[in-house]
Structure 1
Amino acid sequence: MRADEGQPPVLYAINHKRESVEVFRIDATTDIVGLIWTGCIPLPHNVYANGIAALPEGGLALTSMYDPTEPGNPFERMFTGKDTGQVLTWHRDSGWAPVPSSGLGGANGIAVTPDGRSIIAAAWTQKKVVRLPLDGSGERSEATVPFLPDNLRWTTNGTVLVTGQDISADDIMTCNGGEGTDCPTGYTVVEINPDTMASTVLHDEPDSPFSLATTALPVADEIWVGSIAGDKIARVSGT
């Protein structure tokens, strides 16, 4: 989402039906918040989009989990440990472009630093969160996490929250269907310092019936945890 001062907020949503980024203006002028579709941005054919974030100067940053034009099973390919995905940026005048040295295994969640110079992205199948400069200068830095990291969210104190699935590749789909040998999975919430990439476990709930966590979102003095499966949100104390 983009919320520029003096302008209506804009929501960007990835649409896999036609492989595009759909653009909506958020109308909050009435009691019922509405979305007004204003257009779309087609994606390159070699991109399978996952996460998207707005850049401060008006562009977008996006993760691609893998190249859908490559032969074979993409899910199996992601779990080989190889860099199957990447990060791309989009600008109205130049279109899509890959970020240099942004190869990641199953690139997933993404966050943009406040200065717009770097991104932080989740390498889902490599169990790490990576910070890299958008212009390709400097070195990557990373934090290893004990799960498959999914979405990333900023906190008000400038850190990043991440959660995900502590599960094998074989059980990803079966757990989502309510079966599998390691279900429910429980969940862990980790806080990452984006400057040092040092990580701290805030909540570790291995025996929780809550399963297949995707997002740890700070809400007031709590953290709300979303999931792939089910219709519930876990609420825990905040940072």
Structure 2
Amino acid sequence: MTLLHSQLLRILALPALVFGLTACDGSIHNAPCDAVDNATPYCGLQAPEDIESTPDGRYLILSHFGGLTSAHSGSIGLFDTLDSSHRTLFPLDQNQDMSSTELWGDENCITPPAASFSPHGIHLSQRGDQRWQLLVVNHGNREAVEFFEWLPNSKEILWRGCAQFPEGSYLNDVVASPEGGLLVSHMFDKHSKLELIQSLFGSNHGHVWYWRRNQMPEVLMGSEGSFANGLQISPDGRYLFINMWADGEVVKVDRRSGTVLGRVSISYPDNSAWLQDGRLLVTSQEMGGFLPTICTSVENSYCPSPFKLVAVDPDTLESEILYRHEGAPMGAGTVGVQNGKDIYVGSYAGDRLLRVSFP
């Protein structure tokens, strides 16, 4: 594929995802929910765009993507890897009182998400008081990061407030910082189609916001790039790994100095997670044709577009492709999370979660 072909594809397809325009839908309708080789699908789910594993390793917290606008709502779900059952964690009931007397976010954010709740990137971490915090990027009704508390005993989540960002912010993924704050990626101005198109040609409209309670969000030094997408933070909190989707690279930034320490080329990197061997697992999309690689619906059986799972050494940034897939039983991978010898893969489109089994 030529560079011009790739750029034209991005210009034509991505505005449809972001602004709700009409575009070619490459999804497969009424597809069987059958395993193919070492890939087993679990169907009947709404687009699990991001995944976090619970501390005991048994459950997966799923971010059921509704899209980048408020046109479709989503939810947070819980998938049991032992019996493959699934239930909704939030929202449970529109009449349920979700208000909280304990807020972890901005002091002026006292209203829980509305029925238009539309989650995107999520991150689970342990707070200083040893309680578990689930951060959720929300596009519904407000552009914010919602705070939830994960309760391991009851397998429930409680809303604990939100962090809001300057007008025009368009968030994607989030990680907690060990000092009690958070870092969230910003793609481009939410209201500007021009910035979207410029971003696809390499303009650095994307960056990472650094938020701390009772302080104004700041742009993290060294985090500028095109279409900032997935984030991951090193276990010691010093380094941030930013997936620049349109640039086709993962950038390693020293949070203390803002110095860019290195870059690794990966096609359209989406979300990242840590493997048990200490490497970073980056899920990336590949352009395999003209327009069918972009699926604009979140309701069809699956999107067949190709994706790959790439392991990256966080020190040397050397990369290795662990898995590449296209077509049935699921494509358009956005995130991969290790669970024992398996990797569970989510997607921004379709109705299924994929388990890839390795020897």
User: So what's the TM-score if we normalise by structure 2?
Assistant: 0.59
Query: Taking structure 1 as reference, are residues 174 and 4 closer, same or farther at Cα in structure 2, changes over 3 Å only?
Result: closer
Query: Taking structure 1 as reference, are residues 35 and 212 closer, same or farther at Cα in structure 2, changes over 3 Å only?
Result: same
Instruction: Say whether the 8 Å CA contact 2:293–2:305 is kept in structure 1.
Output: no
Instruction: Say whether the 8 Å CA contact 2:325–2:331 is kept in structure 1.
Output: no
1:24 aligns with 2:148: yes
Work out which of the residue numbers 183, 187, 190 in structure 2 matches 1:65: 187
Work out which of the residue numbers 258, 264, 288 in structure 2 matches 1:143: 264
1:219 deviation in Å? 1.0
Counterpart of 1:184, as a letter, is P
1:10 aligns with 2:10: no
Determine the C-alpha separation between the residues in 1 that align with 2:226 and 2:187.
Answer: 7
1:34 aligns with 2:189: no
Counterpart of 1:8, as a letter, is R
Aligned to 2:250: 129
Matches within 5 A, 1:46-195: 46-68=168-190, 71-145=192-266, 147-167=267-287, 171=291, 174-177=294-297, 184-195=304-315
1:203 aligns with 2:203: no
Determine the C-alpha separation between the residues in 2 that align with 1:61 and 1:177.
Answer: 29
1:132 deviation in Å? 0.7
- The sequence identity of aligned pairs, in percent, is 30
1:49 deviation in Å? 0.8
Give the alignment's Cα RMSD to 1 decimal.
2.4
1:9 deviation in Å? 0.9
Determine the C-alpha separation between the residues in 1 that align with 2:288 and 2:271.
Answer: 18
Which sections of structure 1, spanning at least 5 residues, go unmatched? none
1:148 deviation in Å? 1.2
Determine the C-alpha separation between the residues in 2 that align with 1:238 and 1:141.
Answer: 30
Determine the C-alpha separation between the residues in 2 that align with 1:158 and 1:236.
Answer: 19
Q: Normalized per residue, which structure has more strand?
A: 1
Instruction: Say whether the 8 Å CA contact 2:144–2:165 is kept in structure 1.
Output: yes
SS at match of 1:233: strand
Instruction: Say whether the 8 Å CA contact 1:187–1:210 is kept in structure 2.
Output: no
Determine the C-alpha separation between the residues in 2 that align with 1:174 and 1:213.
Answer: 12
SS at match of 1:171: coil
Which sections of structure 2, spanning at least 5 residues, go unmatched? 1-123
Instruction: Say whether the 8 Å CA contact 2:292–2:305 is kept in structure 1.
Output: no
Instruction: Say whether the 8 Å CA contact 1:99–1:136 is kept in structure 2.
Output: no
Instruction: Say whether the 8 Å CA contact 1:185–1:209 is kept in structure 2.
Output: no
User: So what's the TM-score if we normalise by structure 1?
Assistant: 0.87
Query: Taking structure 1 as reference, are residues 175 and 68 closer, same or farther at Cα in structure 2, changes over 3 Å only?
Result: closer
Determine the C-alpha separation between the residues in 2 that align with 1:140 and 1:44.
Answer: 28
Q: Residue by residue, what CA displacement relative to the aligned partner does 1:171-196 show, whole Å, maximum 9, x if unpaired? A: 37852349xxxx72122110001111
Larger radius of gyration: 2
SS at match of 2:295: helix
How many matched pairs? 231
SS at match of 2:352: coil
1:93 deviation in Å? 4.4
